Amino acid sequence: MRKVGVAATGLAEFTKNEISIESLMLSAIKPIFNNTPNLSQDDVEVVLTSTNANNKYLANIISELSGISPKVAHSVESLCNSGTNCIVSAYAYISSGLADTALVIGAEKTNSPGLVLEWDKSRGQYKHPIYWSSMFTSAHMRKFGTTLEDLAHVGAKNHRNALDNPYAYFERSYSVEEIMQSKSLTENVRLLDCSMPCNGSAAILLAAENVIKKFCEQPVWITGIGQKAISAGFTKNDDLTSMKSTIISASDAYKMSRTTADDIDVAELHDAFSICEIIELEDLGLAPKGEGGSLVKKLYETQDRKINPRGGLIGAGHPLGATGVAQTIEVCQQLQGKAEKRQVDGVKVGLVHNMSAAATSSTILILES
């Protein structure tokens, strides 16, 4: 397999301002061309769009609006992990030799049709994601003694981190107390335990090792990939205190990259809800099982930015199709030492965790400089 790396990245601000999906995507593509002197439209061989929007032929429309005539153009959808599905698909085109470069653009609007799980009739009244997050929360509290205060530390940490992310949706931080006192949505999920749907876009240019130096002096390599789709309905997860698809994906990604959890210097985790980050820390091997809550508290108290340095989905906002791409961009910037105020020291190996619908499917990427 040819090595595949990230050659350039672009972000658009996460907001609630009314804007079309096309304009969102173009806003994220623009910095890629602006900041990559040797890149011309003719260099782009694959254009993949990642979104839950119902627009058709979007990859072709975005290509035309950007002056690109690629070989391959299509849209990819897999709810909240559309973004990393798109990145892995782009990786496959390049790694297989079908293309040398691929542009992935993820975008979503606030009113995304992917937000509520209308499609899953087996969920009955539990179509809104807060219900599964509440069930995961109950199970973890019962089995491991995780507290509402532990949960609030996820939000407090991620909101604080988001203050140094110029593209984040939230422009203020929230204390542990404010989060605990925010509106109760279920008996254990409060409003500030939830990620915020918003408009947003993120774009990434991947390239094969033999051409990447033309575009980028300091490429970041995708060295590990793990993906698993257990099911659509969340009742197939054996145990509501862990995420089976995440465990399997992590195992595959660590194996492919010949790394272990101990090697991870920085990680973007899919904190759709507070409980997710706690369970993911454990399932990725970044905390012993049952101790995700304690780790989050420690990270908060020591102001350690290792986990979700850009503020996670809770602090930065969650534009579904863009999220996995934005997570990957953050890890790239950390590996390149370009994360400014968010920079974690000595980052050599980074991890992206992106998942959909109660972790019924997960993608893990390992990135290295």
The set of catalytic residues is: 80, 318
Among 15, 23, 186, 231, binds its own copies (CB under 8 A): 231
By CB under 8 A, is residue 211 in contact with its own copies? no
Nearer to its own copies, 100 or 193 (CB): 100
Q: Which of 7, 39, 117, 322 binds its own copies (CB under 8 A)?
A: 117
Cα distance between residue 97 and residue 94, in whole Å? 5
Q: Distance between CA atoms of 345 and 365, rounded to whole angstroms?
A: 20
Tokens found for residue 81: 């992990």
Residues 6+ apart with CB under 8 A from 217: none
Least separation in angstroms between residue 90's CB and its own copies is 9
Comparison of 56 and 183: residue with beta carbon closer to its own copies: 56
**Choices 110-118, 173-181, 261-269, 290-298 (CB under 8 A): range interacting with its own copies:** 110-118
Rounded CA-CA distance 175/86 in Å is 35
Nearest CA among 17, 77, 27, 69 for reference residue 52? 77
State which of residues 15, 31, 77, 127 lies at the interface with its own copies (CB under 8 A): 77
Residue 224 DSSP one-character state: E
The pair phi, psi for residue 152, each rounded to 5°, is -65, -25
Q: Give the residue, chosen from 15, 30, 113, 213, that forms a contact with its own copies under the rule CB under 8 A.
A: 113
For 208, the 3-state DSSP assignment is: strand
φ, ψ dihedrals at 342, nearest 5° = -85, -5
Nearest-approach distance from CB 309 to its own copies, in angstroms:
27
Residues between 340 and 369 with contacts to its own copies, criterion CB under 8 A? 356-357, 360-361
Q: Tell whether residue 107 is a contact of its own copies (CB under 8 A).
A: no
Q: How many residues does the chain have?
A: 369
Helix (H) or strand (E) holding 48: strand 46-50
Q: Strands 4-15 and 199-208: what pairing?
A: antiparallel
Cα–chain-centroid distance for residue 141? Answer: 25
> Site for its own copies (CB under 8 A): which residue of 16, 35, 41, 98?
98
Query: What is the gyration radius of the CA atoms in the chain, in angstroms?
Result: 19
In the complex, the smallest distance separating the C-beta of residue 325 from its own copies, rounded to whole angstroms, is 14
Burial class (CB in 10 A: 0-12, 13-18, 19+), 30: middle
Q: C-beta of 357: minimal distance to its own copies in Å?
A: 6
Asked whether position 91 contacts its own copies by CB under 8 A, the answer is yes
* By the rule CB under 8 A, 333 interacts with its own copies: no
Applying CB under 8 A, what is the total number of residues that bind its own copies?
56
Residues near its own copies (CB under 8 A) are 1, 47, 52, 54-61, 63-64, 69-79, 82, 85, 88-89, 91-93, 95-98, 113-114, 117-120, 225-233, 236, 252, 356-357, 360-361
